[in-house]
């Protein structure tokens, strides 16, 4: 079983952003029910962020504090990963002062209810040597204030340099059937060689690989609920139409494997990862977590994986993961 800093997790993680992200606030009753279900059914790698809210930005951390105040018995059953290290403009800040401020802020809002098992800067600061950032975070690990350190959207070279300063507990990277850059840029192979688990965020391509998005109206519903998606290439109607053929082909393939498209998308990552990848799909209710976990019981064969790759090669995806402006901030 995959482990994060020695703690067994998986095979499916739990992205918490949707509970509080920007334009919505899920009621505690619903959130707590989902979180209880995750603990009870083994989705114990939880992914949060210092900025996963609008008013206040720390709303996700405050939700976690309320949950663990009510469920203290679950605190040691969960591996909590939190992203930080961003300023008010959502630009990465890896200098000592900024990183210390971020870690302290996370710990303050958790209110001692849960250990910060893993802290990661949400993006690599190109203006600060990664060795300096890691040395700052190592002080917190050595003092026992955080359990371990991870990286997010880091290049293979950055991963190796950071790992030389302090063992990296996990690398978070976007990875799905539609976003396979880490297969090509050395991140996947580097993490495997260093035995660093990969937490695959957006494993369902932000909802585009659920099978629920078939028309422009479906697309508009996602964008209206998550307005920042309107800036992402693949949520532009004209680009989405070009990618729809791939969605339809993959959905037909999933049906032939007796899976839903969502299940196949998650099973694909688990199978390709060979025990080194944990998808962290988001969920805001227990039913969605249950659906996500079903994928773990439906592994793909090597032949099926080859067939999926053949479909993706035949119908290549159009559009950047984010957009032309944000793309240079990825895999630094």
Q: Which residue in 37, 52, 67, 201 is the catalytic one?
A: 52
How far are the Cα atoms of 6, 23, 176, 178, 263 from residue 258, in angstroms, in the given order?
34, 36, 20, 21, 10
In sign, the C-alpha dihedral spanning 116, 79, 44, 289 is: positive
Active site residue 322: no
> How far is it, in rounded angstroms, from Cα 56 to Cα 62?
9
Secondary structure class of 19 (helix, strand, coil) = helix
Residues 100 and 48: beta-carbon distance below 8 Å: no
Residues 80 and 148: beta-carbon distance below 8 Å: no
Token digits of residue 232: 């992402």
Q: Give φ, ψ of 137 to 5 degrees.
A: -70, -30
How many helices (H) does the chain have, and how many strands (E)? Answer: 12, 10
Which residues are tagged catalytic?
A: 52
């Amino acid at each position: 079983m995959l482990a994060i800093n020695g703690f067994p997790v998986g095979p499916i993680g739990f992205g918490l952003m949707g509970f509080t992200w920007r334009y919505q606030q899920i009621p505690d009753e619903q959130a707590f029910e989902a979180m209880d279900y995750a603990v009870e059914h083994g989705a114990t790698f939880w992914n949060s962020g210092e900025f996963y809210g609008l008013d206040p930005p720390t709303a996700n951390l405050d939700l976690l504090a309320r949950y663990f105040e009510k469920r203290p018995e679950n605190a040691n059953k969960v591996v909590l990963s939190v992203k930080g290290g961003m300023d008010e403009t959502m630009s990465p800040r890896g200098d000592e002062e900024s990183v210390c401020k971020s870690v302290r802020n996370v710990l303050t809002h958790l209110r001692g209810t849960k250990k910060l098992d893993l802290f990661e800067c949400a993006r690599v600061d190109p203006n600060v040597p990664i060795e300096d950032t890691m040395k700052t975070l190592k002080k917190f690990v050595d003092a026992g204030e955080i359990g371990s350190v991870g990286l997010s959207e880091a290049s293979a070279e950055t991963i190796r340099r950071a790992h030389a300063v302090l063992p990296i507990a996990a690398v978070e990277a976007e990875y799905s059937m539609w976003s396979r850059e880490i297969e090509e840029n050395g991140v996947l192979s580097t993490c495997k060689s260093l035995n660093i688990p990969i937490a695959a965020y957006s494993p369902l391509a932000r909802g585009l690989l659920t099978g629920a998005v078939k028309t422009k109206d479906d697309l508009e519903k996602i964008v209206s609920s998550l307005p920042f998606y309107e800036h992402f290439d693949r949520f532009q109607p004209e680009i989405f139409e070009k990618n729809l053929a791939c969605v339809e082909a993959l959905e037909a393939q999933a049906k032939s494997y007796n899976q839903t498209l969502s299940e196949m998308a998650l099973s694909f990552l688990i199978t390709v990862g060979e025990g080194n990848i944990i998808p962290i799909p988001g969920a805001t209710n227990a039913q969605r977590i249950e659906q996500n976990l079903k994928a773990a019981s439906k592994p793909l064969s090597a032949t099926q994986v080859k067939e999926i790759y053949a479909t993706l090669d035949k119908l290549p995806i159009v559009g950047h993961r984010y957009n032309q402006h944000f793309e240079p901030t990825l895999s630094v």
